[in-house]
Amino acid sequence: MAGERLSEKEAVFLLETVDLQTLGAAADKITKKLHPESFRTYNIERNVNYTNVCVSGCKFCAFFCAPESSAYSELVWRHDANPEATNGSGKAPDQFSNGSKNRKKHYVMSTETLMEKIRETVELGGNQILLQGGLHPELPFSWYENFIKTAKEKYPDVNIHGFSPTEIVHFSQISGLPVQEVLRRLRDAGLGSLPGGGAEILVDRVRKIVSPKKATTEQWLDVCRIWHNMGGRGSATMMFGHLETIPERVEHLARIRQLQDETGGFTAFIGWTFQPGNTGLSYLSKLSSDEYLRMLAVSRLFLDNFRNIQASWVTQGMRIGTRSLLFGANDMGSIMIEENVVAAAGTVFRTNEAEIREAIESLGYTPQRRDVFYHLIT
C-alpha cells in the first residue's frame, strides 16, 4: 500500500495466509489510485474460433479435435466449410460428420463465414474480433495472412485481436519463418493486436504435463517481446486452478511483470479459473469464487506495472464478475457475442450490453465502452 513492489515470496504469503476481505480492500484501494475516475469499462467483441483441429492435445482443453480423428482427412482442405451454416451453435454442420453423432466434428471456417460474423458484430456495436483457433497441422501460413487481409479490406475499422503467442510459434514452425517475420507479415496483412491466450501457467514443469506439444514459457514470452518491440500491443493472461502450485501462479505473474518492465506492451491482465468439464483433467474440482477473487486481488497488488485488470464473468458469472470490480478489476472485459472454448467445458454464462452496464452501475460507477487499447468510445 506504500507503493513498494511485492516480492514473489510476499505474494505467496498473501495468497496462502491473508483473509479475502483484507486482500480485496487493499486491491480496491490500489485500483482506485490507478483509476480515480468515476467510470469502469467494458468492450463489445466476438470470439471467432476459425478451426477446432489441433495437434497440441492439451489436457485442459475441451474444444479441440485431434487431427488423427476419423473425420479429419475429408475436411482438411475444405476451406469453404461453414461451421455455423445452420444454427449458429459453434458446431460444424452434419455433412462434415464422420457418421457418429457422439463425436466432435472438425471444421475450418470459410472466409465467407468470417465476413458474416464480422458483419453481425458491427451491427451489434462491436469494433473488434478475437481470432483464435487450434494448431492446425496442414493449413499453410498464407491461409492466415489471406484470412486477415480479406477481413481488413472489407471491414477496415474493425480491429483484429488475433493469434495467441502459441499460434504464432506454430505458424513459425509450419512455415519455416522466424517469429519476427511471421509477426511482420501478419501485421502487414492487418493484425491489430495480440491476445494473451496459450499462457495458462508460464512454468515449464506445468506445461510439460498439461500441454507438452505447445510453446514453452520462453517461446510464449519471446513472441510477446518481439511483438511489443515492433510497436505492437496485447494482453497477458493466466488460467489457474489445475496442476500448478501457488508459488507457480506467482512465478507466472513474475514473468509477465518482468516482461512488462522491459517492454510496456501489455494493455491488460486477464486471469480466469480452469474449467474441468469434458477435459483430460475432469477429475479436478473447480476453484471456488472466493479462490478466484483471492487470486484476482493478489494479481492487482503484484502487477504494479499493469494499468488494467479484467474481470472474468465468463467463468464466474455476472454476480462474481460484478464483485470483481471491488477486488482489483477496473474492467468488465468483453460482452463476447460468441464464446466457444469455455462453453465446450460446460461453463456457459452469457450477458448483453444492458446487463453489463447495469452491473457496473450497481456499484456506483458509470459504464464506459472502450476498445482493446483502452481508448474510450463515446
77 band by pLDDT with thresholds 50, 70 and 90:
very low
> Mean pLDDT over residues 252-258, rounded?
98
Query: In Å, what is the CA distance from 82 to each residue of 123, 141, 162?
Result: 21, 20, 20
- The reported pLDDT for the residue numbered 35 is 98
Of 51, 57, 55, 43, which is closest to residue 78 (Cα–Cα)?
51
- Poorest-confidence range of 171-185, 231-245, 323-337? 323-337
Three-state SS at 267: strand
Q: What is the pTM of this model?
A: 0.87
Q: Give the pLDDT confidence of 316-341 residue by residue, as tens digits.
A: 889 999 999 999 999 999 886 665 55
- Give me the percent of the chain exceeding a pLDDT of 70: 86
CA distance 20 to 75: 50
Beta-sheet strand order (sheet of 309-310): 234-240, 266-273, 309-310, 331-334, 39-43, 366-369
> Is the predicted pLDDT of residue 60 greater than 90, yes or no?
no
- Sequence ranges of the domains in the chain: 8-48+138-369
Calculate the average pLDDT of the chain.
87
> Is the predicted pLDDT of residue 7 greater than 50, yes or no?
yes
- Poorest-confidence range of 29-33, 103-107, 165-169, 333-337? 103-107
Looking at the domain 8-48+138-369, which fold is it? Answer: TIM Barrel (3.20.20)
CA distance 361 to 316: 19
**Cα Rg, the chain, nearest whole Å:** 20
Helix, strand, coil percent values for the chain (each to nearest 5)? 40, 15, 45
- Residue 277: is it exposed, middle or buried by C-beta count within 10 angstroms (0-12/13-18/19+)? middle
